[in-house]
């Protein structure tokens, strides 16, 4: 689908999150490609693979909705500049399963009598609702509250929620007592289930409430498939997946590791994500190990003899940083796959690794209608 969607919120100036919505989609994509080529001039034109399109509507598998309005007259969406809620229940970029659930979530919240949190006045109870949709149509719902009161009310009202949203298989409450611009607090209380199964073909990934997963399922599949193709071309005897999250890259690439058993290691600082990765590996019968640790500290502290043939990194926007770049520069690894959501930090990190040359690159349009993107490069040591 290349026709731009009609969005009444954008046209009315109520929401401009999709800043590029009026830009033709082919132009959005070509602009992102040009930006990456300018930031990575060391990559010859012939090494850029065709970009993976992210779609123009119905592509976002996760909604992070601000609860606004007042008790029994709730909005779910974003906050306006004055701090009042703007209802976005018909947002066209959300997957239909999320759009369909939002009116039922509004009705449920109104039935509880919980007061939406008023940001300017710093009072109220319910702050956010996070909804994640699996390819199966099942949902994970997270309610972010200010206090134990909200937790108590929601726990008691769980049967009513499931009547309204029967496809919810994971429900949790996150407590965020502080008044600060974050989407969640540290404490998470499970009310139903423990993980959402994201079926991606041969491998299913399990998401716990505080786990990270890409927001565009179709593009995530393509991202993992590309990494697996690059790994299969080399058939390494070992892989490290640093910043592994719930194990997406490690689990999709494990079949191409030629050692028996395969030496596949994922490192992720989130213990919840590591637990999810271990469960996915066990269910798929994949001999992979996952460790809860800081990726840089783990790599830098490991004996040189333990270094893998192939390193996969998928860091946050800040990139891998100088210390991990230095480790990769001197480590005996032979290949690196770097998946980046920020080409600026990727360019900085690559400049710190002069011994490595780009052998292939690809843009993945994970975030249509915005300037954000995912770009992945395959690196090999220069001869």
Please tell me which residue in 18, 91, 244, 341 is annotated as part of the active site. 341
Length of the chain: 383
Residue that the structure tokens 């994509």 belong to: 29
Instruction: List all residues 6 or more positions away from 156 whose beta carbon is below 8 Å from its beta carbon.
Output: none
The torsion defined by the Cα of 244, 247, 249 and 252, in degrees rounded to 10, comes to: 170
Q: Angle CA(337)–CA(265)–CA(360) in degrees, nearest 5?
A: 10
Token output for 144: 């972010």
Give the number of other CB atoms < 10 A from CB of residue 326. 15
**Residues 203, 166: contact at Cβ < 8 Å?**
no
Among 11, 7, 215, smallest CA distance to 91 is for 7
91 among known catalytic residues: no
| 320: three-class secondary structure by DSSP | coil
Alpha-carbon distance 129 to 22, whole Å?
Answer: 28
* Whole-Å CA distances, 55 to 79, 92, 94: 26, 11, 11
* Whole-Å CA distances, 14 to 42, 81, 88, 277: 42, 10, 9, 39
Is the four-CA dihedral 363, 284, 205, 203 of positive or negative sign? positive
Among 311, 304, 294, smallest CA distance to 353 is for 311
**Residues 236, 258: contact at Cβ < 8 Å?**
yes
Catalytic residues: 341
């Amino acid at each position: 689908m290349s026709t731009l969607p009609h969005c009444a919120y954008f046209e009315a100036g109520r929401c401009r999150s999709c800043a590029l919505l009026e830009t033709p989609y082919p132009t959005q994509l070509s602009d992102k490609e040009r930006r990456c080529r300018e930031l990575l001039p060391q990559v010859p034109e012939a090494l850029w693979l065709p970009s993976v399109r992210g779609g123009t509507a119905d592509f976002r598998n996760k909604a992070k909705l601000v609860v606004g309005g007042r008790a029994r007259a709730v909005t779910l969406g974003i906050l306006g500049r004055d701090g009042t809620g703007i209802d976005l229940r018909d947002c066209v970029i959300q997957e239909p399963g999320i759009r369909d659930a939002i009116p039922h979530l509004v009705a449920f919240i109104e039935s509880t009598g919980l007061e939406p949190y008023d940001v300017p006045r710093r009072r109220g109870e319910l702050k956010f609702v996070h909804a994640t949709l699996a390819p199966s149509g099942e949902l994970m719902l997270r309610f972010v509250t200010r206090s134990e009161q909200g937790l108590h009310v929601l726990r008691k009202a769980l049967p009513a929620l499931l009547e309204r949203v029967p496809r919810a298989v994971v429900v949790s409450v996150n407590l965020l007592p502080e008044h600060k611009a974050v989407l969640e607090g540290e404490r998470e209380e499970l009310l139903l289930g423990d993980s959402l199964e994201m079926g991606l073909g041969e491998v299913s990934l399990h998401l716990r409430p505080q786990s990270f997963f890409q927001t565009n399922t179709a593009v995530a599949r393509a991202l993992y498939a590309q990494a697996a193709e690059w790994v299969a071309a080399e058939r390494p005897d070992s892989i490290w997946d640093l910043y592994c999250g719930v194990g997406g890259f490690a689990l999709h690439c494990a079949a191409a590791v030629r050692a028996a058993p395969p030496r596949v290691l994922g490192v992720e600082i989130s213990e919840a994500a590591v637990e999810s990765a271990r469960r996915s590996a066990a269910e798929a019968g994949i001999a992979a190990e996952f460790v809860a640790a800081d990726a840089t500290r783990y790599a830098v502290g490991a004996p040189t003899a333990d270094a893998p043939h192939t390193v996969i990194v998928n860091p946050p926007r800040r990139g891998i940083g100088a210390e991990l770049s230095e480790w990769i520069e001197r480590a005996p690894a032979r290949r690196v796959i770097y998946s980046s959501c920020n080409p600026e930090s990727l360019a900085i990190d690559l400049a710190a690794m002069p011994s490595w040359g780009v052998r292939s690159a690809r843009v993945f349009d994970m975030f249509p209608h915005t300037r954000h993107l995912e770009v992945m490069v395959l690196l090999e040591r220069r001869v």
